[in-house]
Every structure is written in structure tokens, then in C-alpha cells.
């Protein structure tokens, strides 16, 4: 398969129109099929409502499937640039932290610096650790571990650390504070998360790419999830490594000049960022007012509004991150993303934004409200028998033979197959292509990769109703005006007991059990269809606990486990050494430190 250049102009418009048209066609097809099914017992208003709900839901599923098909039909290719060109500009790597383990975070900085040193490239690259930590005991460890980082890596003048007294604006405010104070000293800023890792060579190539294209304001990589230990984390890790590159490729083909920013593992041109990406607080109180939470989408849109190119280079390897180890931690993080994406309803109409930027905002909002349409469809289907008149088998007076309406069950079955196909077929096609082109070798070979795909499909089918319940609750909380804040990410061992799983999901159990009982009473014909949704909800505590336990299976093997990336190996070695040198202290033995003494250096 040959690499396809990214479409531009009329070709890009045609590709976008084709993608939207195919998605709309699938949605309209589902709408018509459902109406035909509803006509079997007489078309009612509720049938039309359900048809509209299934249209919207199917359109959303089809958009993801079409994006995968576009990704399958092309191959990632690097832009045209000199991979050996001398780097002229100065770069700073920004590492925002918030109540993180400094040994784990700062040892990542050390590993990336060592990886850069191994390239022997003379480029000027500094590191700035931007702390928003609120806990004095962690801040005290940050100061000590940072001093050790500087000594070990001979980083005086290259490594900087500062802790903000007031963490206004959270991560976005943290980065904005640095850009405002010190951004002029650098041409480019590589923005990371506390759990990010990048190969030194990848960092250098990102700098060369942004130098080669003067219009490029932001360059985003596709991070691969690593170090998943639990069953849940391994499934997410496999999905991110095996499926996500294809979906990202589809996105890269559709993005034009208005690509995505996911908030980390991306490089920005500091001048472009400074002149374009100021984020004033929105009017009103959270969750819809206050500081912009999902700032990354907004910053990408603002860069594009100013005429800067925003690009996802999906061919770049060597970009890594870590993920949550259990469903509950995933749901907590997703709650923050939900609030941030729904907040974009206040921004989508901002003047001067490009049309594709507005579409991206709409996609982000739809990603979280889509469960409401499915929930509405299920609720309306369960309630439908209450509004349907009893069948009239003798519509003609004095006619001696009953009339039985023709069965439309085949249309219902066809509709169900089509909807499930939108979810399953793209992943099966990805597995097939991986076996054909040889990329499945990094996942244990074609047979194991296909078995892993089936296992992931089974796992995601089981956990989807539970995740759907958490996502739906998040939407309702935001709509009711509840601010979820910015909780600290839980890293490390995420094992949960059955008791902890029940404490987190008892309400899901109640909804699942109540829904099945209500279905049996009102619409017993639907009970079999709803068991794949209701039973996982009833089993939510067990699923949460079971999926949080360590996985010992070879299924869902990923390339980073087949061959450890160099920077990951460097970090493992450094972290082990530092962990012994800085054992976790007893909080009772730590004295609070004053704000004035929090920063051994200021970036």
C-alpha cells in the first residue's frame, strides 16, 4: 500500500463531504429500517422518536467507522524535510506536574535527557518542570529530587523548576504562566504530561519538522500507551497501539490545516502560541463558566484562527504515555474531560473560528452526549408497549378469518447487525490488514494479534455498559451544574477489591437490575436483546475488580513489550535507582515548607 499525501483544497473538501455523506447515509438507513419495523403494529409517535434517536446514534457510530476506513486506505508518511538538518532554534521541554510522585516524574526527565545525549546532537534543549503541587510534603520531595536530577545529569543551566503559589487555570494556566514569563527565551516548546516519555531522536525530528515549515504552529504526535499491568490497562494499551493509529491516520487525512491538540506530546512554536492562545475565563460559574478545562482543543482552534498550521504527524514513533489501571480511575479522568468538552458549547460560536474547528468542538460534545441518545432509545423502547393499542386481528367487520400483520423482525435483526457491524468490522479489518502488511509482528504475529482483537472486542463489549453508565452520570452532573474540579491522577498499582468495586458502582447494579425487571414487566420481547447491556451492569463490581487485577495472559501483547523502547529502558533503570535513594517518607515526619522556599530555580 502506497503512502498518500494529505489532501488539500477541493480534494480535502471532497473527502470530508464523502465521509460526512457516508455517515449520514448509514444514519438515514437505520432511520428508515426502524420506521419500517415500527409499521408492523401501526406507526406511533414514539416510533418516530425512537427512529430519530437511532438516526443520531448510528450517524455517530458511522463517523468513527468511516474515519477508520479512510485510515485503512492510506499509510502514514513523513512530510518532506531534511532529517539531518542542523537545528537552529532553542527548545524547552515543559513538564507540568500536580501532586505527582517526583521520583517517577523527574526520572522520566532524566531518561529523556539521557536519550537526547545519546544522539550527540548539539541542539539547545532545556527542561522546565512546572509544579502546581498543592501538598507541601510532595513539594519538599520535588525540591530534593530536582536537586538530585541536576547533579546526576549535570543539568545546571539546562534544567529548571518552579512551583506556582496560585495554580490559577490549572495546567493551561501553568503553561501560560511559563510562556508569559520565559517563552521569549525559546523558539519552540515541547509540552508533555507528567507520565509522558519521548525518545531523544523523536524530539529532534519534531524540532526539525517545525523548523522546516515556518507556518507550522503546533505538531501533535500519537502517543502509545505503555506499562499497562492490569487487564483493563492492557486492553486500553492494546487498543491505543493496534487500533488508534488507523483512526488517527483517518483523522490526519481529514484535518487539513486544522489538526488536533491533545494537550501533551506535542511541540508548539512559542511565538505562535503566545500570540494566539490566551484563554480568558468564561463568564459564570463552573461547570460551564470559569477557566477552560479542555484547553487543548481550544488552543488548536485559536492557532488555526490566526492562520497557523496545526498538524498531526501520525508517522512519528517514540512517543509514549501511561494510562489508568482500572475503570474507576478512567471514569474519574473522563469526568473531567466530559465537563471540558461540554464547556465547549460556550466556545463553538466564537467569532473567526474555522469551520473544521467548530466541527471538532461538535464532535467532542457529541462524544459525551451520545450515551443520552442510546439511553433515550432504550427507555422509549421499554415504554413503547404502554402506548401501542392492542392488535386488531379482525379489521374488517364480519370477515371470518383473522388478519396477521407481516413480521418485520428481519428488519430489526438487520438493523442490529448493521449497528454492531459499525463497531466490530473496522477492528477486524485492522487486524486483517496488520497480518497482510506484517505490522502484526510487533503484536506477537498475525494469529496472536487476531486473537487479541477478539479478546479486546469481548472485553470492550463487557465493560461498555459500565463505562456508558459512568459517562451518562458525568453528563447529568455537568448539566445539573456540578463542578467536577481537577482531581489528581492516580498512578501506579490500581487494584481494587470487590468491596471497593461495589462502593463505586452499586448504583450501576441498581440501574441494570431495575432496567431488566422493568423490561420483563413492560416489554418482555426486548428482554433477550437487553441482556448484553443489563447483565454487565449487574456484574459491574466484579468487572471493576476483576479488570483491575494484573494480567498474566500473552493476549494483547504490544510492541513495547516485545522490545522495550530505549527511553523506557532508561527510565526503568533510573527510576529503580532513584526509588532506592528516595524512599517514600512518613508524612508525619515532614515539616511544611514556606512558599518562598519552594523553588530551587525559576524557569
Write out pLDDT tens, residues 505-514.
999 999 999 9
Write out pLDDT tens, residues 95-121.
999 999 999 999 999 999 999 999 999
Whether the Cβ atoms of residue 202 and residue 265 lie closer than 8 Å to each other: no
Alpha helices in 256-324 (DSSP H): 270-276, 295-305
Give a yes or no: residue 38 inside a domain. Answer: no
Is residue 594 scored above 60 in pLDDT? no
Range 501-504, long-range pairs (CB < 8 A, 24+ positions): 501/328, 501/540, 501/541, 501/542, 501/543, 501/544, 501/545, 501/548, 502/541, 504/328, 504/541, 504/544
**Could you give the CA distance from residue 177 to residue 170 in angstroms, rounded to a whole number?**
10
**Could you give the CA distance from residue 208 to residue 204 in angstroms, rounded to a whole number?**
6
Give a yes or no: residue 337 inside a domain. Answer: no
User: In a 3-state reduction of DSSP, which class is residue 486?
Assistant: coil
Whether the Cβ atoms of residue 402 and residue 394 lie closer than 8 Å to each other: yes
Alpha helices in 384-497 (DSSP H): 409-437, 446-479
**pLDDT reported for residue 388:** 65
**pLDDT reported for residue 395:** 56
Kindly give, in sequence order, each residue whose CB lies less than 8 Å from that of residue 537, ignoring residues fewer than 6 positions away.
Answer: 465, 466, 469, 508, 509, 511, 512, 513, 515
Least confident of 294-298, 394-398, 592-596: 592-596
Nearest to 279 by CA among 368, 171, 366, 189: 171
**pLDDT reported for residue 378:** 87
Q: What are phi and psi of 307, to 5 degrees?
A: 95, 5
Q: What are phi and psi of 192, to 5 degrees?
A: -120, 170
Give a yes or no: residue 188 inside a domain. Answer: yes
**Mean pLDDT computed over 415-435:** 89
Q: Which whole-number Å values give the CA distances from 455 to 423, 551, 554, in the listed order?
A: 14, 13, 11
Q: Rg of the Cα trace of the chain?
A: 26
Residue scoring higher pLDDT (154 or 523): 154
Angle (CA) 19-22-27 rounded to 5° is 125
Run of H or E residues at 202: helix 200-212
Give a yes or no: residue 429 inside a domain. Answer: no
**Mean pLDDT computed over 62-91:** 93
**Could you give the CA distance from residue 573 to residue 577 in angstroms, rounded to a whole number?**
6
Q: What are phi and psi of 191, to 5 degrees?
A: -95, 125
**pLDDT reported for residue 269:** 98
Give a yes or no: residue 108 inside a domain. Answer: yes
Instruction: Give the burial string for 125-147 (b: 16+ CB within 10 Å, else e).
Output: bbbbbbbbbeebbbbbbbbebbe
Is residue 593 scored above 50 in pLDDT? no
Domain that holds residue 104: 90-286+295-324+575-581
The overall average pLDDT reported for the chain is 89
Write out pLDDT tens, residues 233-290.
999 999 999 999 999 999 999 998 999 999 999 999 999 999 999 888 899 888 999 9
**pLDDT reported for residue 597:** 30
Write out pLDDT tens, residues 377-422.
888 888 877 776 655 544 566 555 554 455 445 556 667 778 888 8
- Report the chain's terminal Cα–Cα distance, integer Å: 47
**Could you give the CA distance from residue 165 to residue 114 in angstroms, rounded to a whole number?**
31
Run of H or E residues at 12: helix 9-38
CATH of the domain at 217: 3.90.550.10
Write out pLDDT tens, residues 188-212.
999 999 999 999 999 999 999 999 9
Residue in the structure block whose three cell numbers are 455537568: 478
Give a yes or no: residue 600 inside a domain. Answer: no
Is residue 596 scored above 50 in pLDDT? no
Sign of CA dihedral 482, 485, 489, 495: negative
Total length of the chain? 603
**pLDDT reported for residue 417:** 78
**pLDDT reported for residue 399:** 57
Share in percent of the chain as helix, strand, coil (round to 5): 60, 10, 30
- pTM (two decimals): 0.89
Give a yes or no: residue 449 inside a domain. Answer: no
Give a yes or no: residue 512 inside a domain. Answer: no
**Mean pLDDT computed over 150-166:** 94
**pLDDT reported for residue 41:** 62
Instruction: Give the burial string for 98-112 (b: 16+ CB within 10 Å, else e).
Output: bbbbbbbbbbbbbbb
Report the percent of the chain where pLDDT is more than 90: 73
- Assigned C-alpha cell, 501: 468495586
Amino acid at each position: 500500500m502506497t503512502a498518500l499525501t494529505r489532501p488539500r483544497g477541493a480534494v480535502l473538501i471532497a473527502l470530508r463531504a464523502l465521509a460526512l455523506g457516508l455517515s449520514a447515509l448509514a444514519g438515514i438507513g437505520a432511520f428508515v429500517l426502524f420506521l419500517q419495523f415500527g409499521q408492523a403494529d401501526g406507526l406511533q409517535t414514539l416510533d418516530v422518536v425512537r427512529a430519530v434517536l437511532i438516526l443520531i446514534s448510528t450517524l455517530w457510530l458511522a463517523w468513527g467507522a468511516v474515519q477508520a476506513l479512510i485510515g485503512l486506505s492510506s499509510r502514514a508518511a513523513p512530510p518532506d524535510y531534511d532529517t539531518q538538518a542542523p537545528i537552529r532554534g532553542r527548545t524547552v521541554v515543559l513538564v507540568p506536574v500536580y501532586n505527582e510522585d517526583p521520583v517517577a516524574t523527574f526520572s522520566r526527565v532524566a531518561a529523556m535527557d539521557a536519550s537526547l545525549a545519546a544522539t550527540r546532537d548539539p541542539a539547545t534543549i532545556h527542561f522546565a518542570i512546572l509544579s502546581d503541587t498543592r501538598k507541601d510534603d510532595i513539594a519538599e520531595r520535588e525540591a530534593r529530587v530536582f536537586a538530585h536530577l541536576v547533579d546526576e545529569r549535570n543539568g545546571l543551566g539546562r534544567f529548571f523548576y518552579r512551583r506556582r503559589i496560585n495554580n490559577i487555570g490549572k495546567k493551561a494556566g501553568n503553561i501560560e504562566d511559563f510562556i508569559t514569563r520565559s517563552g521569549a527565551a525559546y523558539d519552540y516548546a515541547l509540552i508533555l504530561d507528567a507520565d509522558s516519555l519521548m525518545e531523544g531522536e523523536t524530539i529532534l525530528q519534531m524540532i526539525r519538522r517545525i523548523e522546516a515549515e515556518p507556518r507550522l504552529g503546533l505538531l501533535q504526535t500519537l502517543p502509545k500507551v505503555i506499562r499497562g499491568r492490569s487487564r483493563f490497562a492492557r486492553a486500553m494499551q492494546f487498543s491505543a497501539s493496534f487500533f488508534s493509529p488507523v483512526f488517527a491516520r483517518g483523522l490526519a487525512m481529514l484535518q487539513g490545516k486544522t489538526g488536533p491538540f491533545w494537550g501533551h506530546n506535542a511541540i508548539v512554536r512559542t511565538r505562535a502560541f503566545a500570540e494566539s492562545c490566551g484563554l480568558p475565563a468564561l463568564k459564570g460559574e463552573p461547570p460551564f463558566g470559569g477557566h477552560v478545562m479542555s484547553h487543548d482543543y481550544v488552543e488548536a482552534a485559536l492557532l488555526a484562527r490566526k492562520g497557523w498550521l496545526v498538524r498531526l504527524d501520525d508517522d512519528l514513533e517514540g512517543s509514549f504515555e501511561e494510562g489508568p489501571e482500572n475503570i474507576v480511575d478512567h471514569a474519574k479522568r473522563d469526568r473531567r474531560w466530559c465537563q471540558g468538552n461540554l464547556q465547549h458549547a460556550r466556545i463553538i460560536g466564537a467569532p473567526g473560528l474555522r469551520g473544521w474547528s467548530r466541527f471538532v468542538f461538535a464532535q467532542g460534545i457529541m462524544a459525551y452526549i451520545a450515551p443520552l441518545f442510546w439511553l433515550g432509545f432504550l427507555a422509549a423502547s421499554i415504554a413503547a408497549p404502554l402506548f401501542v393499542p392492542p392488535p386488531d386481528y379482525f379489521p374488517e367487520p364480519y370477515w371470518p378469518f383473522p388478519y396477521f400483520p407481516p413480521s418485520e423482525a428481519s428488519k430489526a435483526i438487520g438493523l442490529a447487525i448493521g449497528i454492531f457491524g459499525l463497531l466490530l468490522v473496522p477492528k477486524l479489518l485492522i487486524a486483517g490488514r496488520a497480518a497482510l502488511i506484517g505490522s502484526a509482528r510487533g503484536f506477537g504475529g498475525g494469529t496472536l494479534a487476531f486473537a487479541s482483537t477478539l479478546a479486546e472486542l469481548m472485553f470492550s463489549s463487557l465493560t461498555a455498559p459500565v463505562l456508558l453508565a459512568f459517562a451518562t452520570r458525568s453528563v447529568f452532573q455537568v448539566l445539573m451544574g456540578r463542578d467536577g474540579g481537577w482531581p489528581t491522577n492516580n498512578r501506579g498499582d490500581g487494584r481494587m477489591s470487590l468491596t471497593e468495586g461495589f462502593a463505586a458502582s452499586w448504583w450501576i447494579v441498581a440501574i441494570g437490575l431495575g432496567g431488566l425487571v422493568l423490561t420483563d414487566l413492560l416489554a418482555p420481547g426486548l428482554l433477550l436483546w437487553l441482556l448484553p447491556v443489563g447483565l454487565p451492569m449487574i456484574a459491574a463490581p466484579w468487572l471493576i475488580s476483576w479488570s483491575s487485577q494484573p494480567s498474566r495472559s500473552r493476549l494483547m501483547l504490544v510492541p513495547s513489550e516485545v522490545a522495550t523502547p530505549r527511553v523506557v529502558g532508561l527510565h526503568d533503570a533510573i527510576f529503580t535507582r532513584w526509588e532506592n535513594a528516595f524512599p517514600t517518607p512518613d508524612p508525619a515526619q515532614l515539616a511544611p515548607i514556606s512558599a518562598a522556599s519552594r523553588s530551587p530555580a525559576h524557569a
